[in-house]
């Protein structure tokens, strides 16, 4: 029933129950459609947001890869520079240079799985970093070998006669000469250094005293075994300050100059032997600037 105001007339409309169902169904269908559209819109917006995030992550990853590529190039330049330095050091220490193909492949280095350390996944940068790691390990091994060689070289040098045992000038060389006491031509197996009695005599290299005492024409003398085949002898001393079996270092005072034994005056008779063969001691007196 319908009654408009002010007319006093009322009208009656009849609506069948079927039409009510149709209208209700239409309204439900409309609401469901609206809901589906809303859900699709929300889903697409979520996908769009996710896509933006992925694009952002991809951009950050590309930036990171670019940084890694730059660092890789810098690392390879540093390794190349170290390789050149390494070659020079190995030549100095009489070691074979590392073949270029071995150095290039980094053979000998550990195969550390750096892939697991990098979250971005595997690409050429990762392969190159693994190679650089092996090359760096090879370089490290080579430097270790050089240090060992350098230590050995230093040890050899420390045990090689290298300084004049006392000041004064060389008055008789390593040569044939007329014996000043007995006459006749005789080979002089050392050098004579003229210097007043009491001047200190120092060891020209590290070693161990093998004899200290009186011995024939040497008079009071000291023999030192240095290792590597070197032996030195010091004759005509006045006072000995070392004993047999005593280790000495280069520069240690071992005796004082005198004129004992077959000597015409105070001087040091100095001999150097290599492999039990006498050699010219003058060849084992290096300039001061070569000695520490
Ligand atoms: Zn002599």
**Spatial CA neighbour of 149 closest among 103, 227, 96:** 96
**Co-location of 142 and 67 in the same domain:** yes
Compute, in angstroms, the gap from residue 257 CA to the centroid of ligand 1: 13
What are the residues facing 208 on neighbouring strands? 225, 247
Compute, in angstroms, the gap from residue 43 CA to the centroid of ligand 1: 107
Query: For residue 187, what are the contacts with CB-CB under 8 A and spacing of at least 6?
Result: 175, 176, 177
Compute, in angstroms, the gap from residue 252 CA to the centroid of ligand 1: 22
| Run of H or E residues at 128 | helix 124-158
* Cα gap 79→97, rounded to integer Å: 15
Compute, in angstroms, the gap from residue 268 CA to the centroid of ligand 1: 7
Give residue-wise pLDDT tens across range 175-228.
998 887 777 889 999 999 999 999 999 999 999 999 999 999 999 999 999 999
Q: Is the dihedral of CA 100, 104, 105, 111 positive or negative?
A: positive
**Co-location of 146 and 263 in the same domain:** no
Compute, in angstroms, the gap from residue 269 CA to the centroid of ligand 1: 4
Q: What is the DSSP letter of 97?
A: P
**Co-location of 188 and 102 in the same domain:** no
**Co-location of 193 and 95 in the same domain:** no
**Co-location of 197 and 241 in the same domain:** yes
* Domain end residue (candidates: 93, 124, 158): 158
Compute, in angstroms, the gap from residue 235 CA to the centroid of ligand 1: 8
pTM greater than the 0.85 cutoff: no
Instruction: Answer for the pair 50, 43: CB distance below 8 angstroms, yes or no.
Output: no
Q: So what's the pLDDT on residue 109?
A: 43
Compute, in angstroms, the gap from residue 189 CA to the centroid of ligand 1: 7
Overall number of domains in the chain: 2
**Co-location of 84 and 182 in the same domain:** no
- 3 is a domain residue: no
Residue 122: pLDDT band with limits 50, 70, 90: low
Q: Which domain holds residue 36?
A: 15-158
pLDDT above 80 for 3? no
**Co-location of 60 and 121 in the same domain:** yes
Compute, in angstroms, the gap from residue 188 CA to the centroid of ligand 1: 6
Compute, in angstroms, the gap from residue 172 CA to the centroid of ligand 1: 7
- 258 is a domain residue: yes
Q: So what's the pLDDT on residue 114?
A: 45
**Mean pLDDT confidence for 257-277:** 96
| Run of H or E residues at 67 | helix 17-92
Q: What is the CATH number of the domain that holds 250?
A: 2.70.70.10
pLDDT above 80 for 5? no
Instruction: Answer for the pair 163, 272: CB distance below 8 angstroms, yes or no.
Output: no
Compute, in angstroms, the gap from residue 289 CA to the centroid of ligand 1: 27
**Co-location of 148 and 177 in the same domain:** no
| Cα-to-chain-centroid distance, residue 35 | 72
**Co-location of 94 and 191 in the same domain:** no
Compute, in angstroms, the gap from residue 218 CA to the centroid of ligand 1: 9
Compute, in angstroms, the gap from residue 174 CA to the centroid of ligand 1: 9
Q: What are phi and psi of 61, to 5 degrees?
A: -65, -45
Compute, in angstroms, the gap from residue 190 CA to the centroid of ligand 1: 6
Compute, in angstroms, the gap from residue 227 CA to the centroid of ligand 1: 24
Greatest distance between any 2 Cα atoms in the chain: 173
Residue 291: pLDDT band with limits 50, 70, 90: low
Compute, in angstroms, the gap from residue 170 CA to the centroid of ligand 1: 10
* Cα gap 197→204, rounded to integer Å: 19
Residue 116: pLDDT band with limits 50, 70, 90: very low
Give residue-wise pLDDT tens across range 19-30.
888 888 888 888
Compute, in angstroms, the gap from residue 192 CA to the centroid of ligand 1: 5
3-state secondary structure of 113: coil
What are the residues facing 247 on neighbouring strands? 208
**Mean pLDDT confidence for 264-271:** 96
Compute, in angstroms, the gap from residue 132 CA to the centroid of ligand 1: 62
* Cα gap 282→171, rounded to integer Å: 12
17-92 and 124-158 helices cross at what angle (nearest 10)? 20
**Co-location of 154 and 173 in the same domain:** no
Instruction: Answer for the pair 280, 156: CB distance below 8 angstroms, yes or no.
Output: no
**What count of residues does the chain have?**
292
């Amino acid at each position: 029933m319908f009654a408009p105001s002010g007319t006093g007339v009322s009208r009656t409309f009849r609506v069948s129950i079927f039409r009510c169902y149709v209208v209700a169904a239409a309204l439900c269908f409309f609401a469901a459609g609206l809901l589906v559209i809303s859900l699709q819109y929300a889903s697409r917006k979520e996908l769009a947001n996710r896509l933006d995030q992925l694009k952002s992550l991809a951009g950050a990853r590309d930036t990171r890869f670019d940084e890694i590529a730059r660092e890789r190039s810098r690392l390879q330049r540093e390794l190349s520079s170290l390789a050149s330095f390494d070659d020079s050091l190995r030549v100095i220490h009489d070691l074979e240079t590392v073949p270029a193909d071995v150095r290039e492949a980094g053979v000998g280095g550990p195969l550390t799985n750096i892939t697991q350390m990098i979250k971005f996944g595997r690409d050429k940068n990762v392969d190159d970093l693994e190679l650089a790691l092996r090359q760096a390990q090879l370089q490290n091994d080579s430097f270790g070998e050089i240090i060992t060689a350098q230590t050995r070289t230093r040890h050899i040098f420390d045990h090689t006669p290298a300084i004049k045992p006392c000041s004064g000038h060389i008055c008789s060389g390593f040569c044939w000469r007329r014996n000043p006491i007995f006459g006749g031509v005789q080979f002089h197996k050392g050098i004579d250094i003229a210097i007043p009695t009491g001047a200190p005599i120092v060891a020209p290299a590290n070693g161990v005293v093998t004899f200290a005492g009186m011995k024939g024409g040497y008079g009071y003398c000291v023999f030192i075994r240095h290792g590597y085949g070197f032996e030195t002898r010091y004759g005509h001393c006045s006072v000995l300050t070392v004993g047999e079996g005593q280790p000495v270092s280069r520069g240690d005072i071992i005796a004082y100059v005198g004129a004992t034994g077959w000597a015409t005056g105070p001087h040091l008779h100095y001999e150097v032997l290599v492999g039990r063969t006498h050699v010219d001691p003058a060849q084992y007196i290096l300039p001061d600037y070569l000695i520490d």
